[in-house]
Structure 1
């Protein structure tokens, strides 16, 4: 008997698959046939629950996903995967593709899937170009790029020690350096030892 196998994925542990799961269940996927990866990038070749979902697929079954980007990042990989499913006698159904369901077991669905996979890859590449361009412009303008703060140098610790010795409150000096008082004490001891 043909089954619907559902797959949901989020890239970070802070994200939720609730909406994807609700859509998959509403599409007829049974909870027992729903596989979910948390904190797994679509760029990774191995995704534990995705691999389990693929193992569960038998001839006549259909893999159901909510959006195309749940499968992966490149058009080539997505098309190869759709061909692999087709060769196994299984189908692929994308719920939110172009405003409606797309089923790759039909010629029209297969064609639409190919076009949408290419568009999804293009969208990913355009987004990446924008991010790289934004970082480049911020770097040229001398603006903060975010990320981990630069390390406080030994010279800065020595200067801060002079401030403390001249009567400045240790907590304030440490705060100005962007560290806790305990870290300031530890770094100061390391310099004087």
Structure 2
């Protein structure tokens, strides 16, 4: 007689070691259990599930995300319960997505309006391009709000500003590494700066890309 199947296991996918999970909650009383259970039910082995509690403040380090990214290989799949678990704002979500594109890894979102599997090497590239569009729109809105604030401050006789994230010394290093064929993502990961409060942050891929773009445009104009 054939063994009876366990009905509790039929709702779960078979464990696939090319699938990795990432769960994140803020530190304000949230727990990770629901997300981790969803990842396991989606076929992510517990050893491949990475979870961390981080505050809602964007820009700070995410060691568990860095760990899972270091293990992802082309063709692997990163599984998240919802899109917003990938980051604390649109910029961070987009940087996470760029990392997956660079790695050739797929993204699977288990719930929410964008639930599905997205392969950056196939039709999923449209999804990643759409995310990039939203990130750019958010960036432009932030710039517009900043410029409005500066204009208002100038009108009130207040002047000032903050130091650029990428200094001249950092730019020289970045240009040298780019000349050696290193990717923008890899270069950005190795560049850090300190905020006005003394917090150390990593330069974003978008910031470095814009710095390269401005540098190249300036060189072309000079030529």
* TM-score relative to the length of structure 1: 0.52
Aligned to 2:111: 96
Correspondent of 1:28 among 25, 29, 43: 43
Are the equivalent residues in 2 in contact too, given 1:10–1:17 (CA < 8 A)?
A: yes
In the superposition, relative to structure 1, how do residues 66 and 121 fare at CA in structure 2: closer, same or farther (>3 Å)? farther
Please say if 1:82 is aligned against 2:97: yes
Which runs of 5 or more structure 2 residues have no equivalent in the other structure?
A: 1-15, 138-223
Correspondent of 1:52 among 62, 67, 70: 67
Per-residue CA distance 1:16-49 (angstroms, 9 max, x = gap): 1111111111111000100110244362441121
Residue 73 of structure 1 and its aligned partner are, at CA, apart by: 3.6
Aligned to 2:24: 9
In the superposition, relative to structure 1, how do residues 69 and 99 fare at CA in structure 2: closer, same or farther (>3 Å)? closer
Please say if 1:43 is aligned against 2:52: no
Residue 8 of structure 1 and its aligned partner are, at CA, apart by: 0.5
Which runs of 5 or more structure 1 residues have no equivalent in the other structure?
A: 123-193
Residue 121 of structure 1 and its aligned partner are, at CA, apart by: 10
Please say if 1:19 is aligned against 2:34: yes
CA separation in 2, counterparts of 1:87 and 1:39?
25
Per-residue CA distance 1:77-112 (angstroms, 9 max, x = gap): 433332322222222222224263232336443323
**Which has a greater percent of helix?**
1
Paired residues, what number? 123
Aligned to 1:72: 87
In the superposition, relative to structure 1, how do residues 9 and 89 fare at CA in structure 2: closer, same or farther (>3 Å)? same
CA separation in 2, counterparts of 1:117 and 1:20?
26
Are the equivalent residues in 2 in contact too, given 1:79–1:117 (CA < 8 A)?
A: yes
CA separation in 2, counterparts of 1:85 and 1:78?
11
* TM-score relative to the length of structure 2: 0.46
In the superposition, relative to structure 1, how do residues 40 and 51 fare at CA in structure 2: closer, same or farther (>3 Å)? farther
Higher Rg of the two aligned structures: 1
